[in-house]
Chain A
Amino acid sequence: ETGVTQTPRHLVMGMTNKKSLKCEQHLGHNAMYWYKQSAKKPLELMFVYSLEERVENNSVPSRFSPECPNSSHLFLHLHTLQPEDSALYLCASSQETAVDSPLHFGNGTRLTVT
Chain B
Amino acid sequence: DAKTTQPNSMESNEEEPVHLPCNHSTISGTDYIHWYRQLPSQGPEYVIHGLTSNVNNRMASLAIAEDRKSSTLILHRATLRDAAVYYCSISGNTPLVFGKGTRLSVIA
Task: List the interface of chain A (C-beta within 8 A of B).
Answer: 2, 4, 33, 42-43, 45, 48, 56, 90, 92, 97, 99-100, 102-108
Contacts and interface: CB of A to CB of B under 8 A. Distances in A.
Given A2-B43, A104-B46, A105-B44, 9 more contacts: A4-B43, A42-B98, A42-B100, A90-B43, A92-B43, A99-B31, A99-B93, A100-B51, A103-B44
A33 B44 contact: no
Contact of B98 (A43, A48, A56): A43
A39 to B, nearest CB: 12
Contact of B43 (A42, A102, A107): A107
Given A42-B100, A105-B44, A100 B91 contact: yes
A83 B91 CA distance: 32
Contact of A56 (B30, B94, B99): B94
Contacts of A56: 94-95
Contacts of B51: 100
Contacts of B68: none
A106 B46 CA distance: 12
A100 B59 CA distance: 18
Contact of B34 (A45, A97, A102, A104): A102
